[in-house]
């Protein structure tokens, strides 16, 4: 797997992505259970993930990521 990350100063990792191995002979050596999925051929494929809160932090110029999280996920964040 080839991987890539976009790191932004003061924010951290903004994007992460990767390309999966599609060459059968490389997979054959290490991933016997995975082979049935790729036995009849495969096309190059990959993907990426975006940290939406980190993206907002970067675009809006906010110093603390807690200020852009729409649904707080840290202790004592709800006033219930």
pLDDT score of 60: 93
pLDDT score of 80: 61
**Alpha carbons 21 and 29: distance in angstroms, whole number:** 12
Predicted TM-score of the model (pTM): 0.46
> Assign residue 76 a region: left if phi > 0, alpha if psi is -120 to 50, beta otherwise?
left
Domain ranges of the chain: 2-67
Q: What is the pLDDT of residues 7-59, one digit of tens each?
A: 888 888 888 888 888 887 877 777 777 777 777 777 787 888 888 888 898 89
């Amino acid at each position: 797997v080839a991987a890539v990350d976009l790191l932004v100063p003061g924010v951290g990792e903004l994007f992460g992505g990767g390309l999966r191995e599609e060459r059968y002979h490389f997979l054959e050596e290490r991933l016997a259970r995975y082979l049935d999925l790729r036995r009849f051929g495969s096309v190059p494929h990959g993907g990426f993930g975006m940290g939406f809160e980190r993206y907002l932090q970067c675009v809006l110029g906010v110093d603390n990521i807690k200020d852009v999280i729409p649904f707080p996920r840290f202790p004592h964040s709800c006033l219930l």
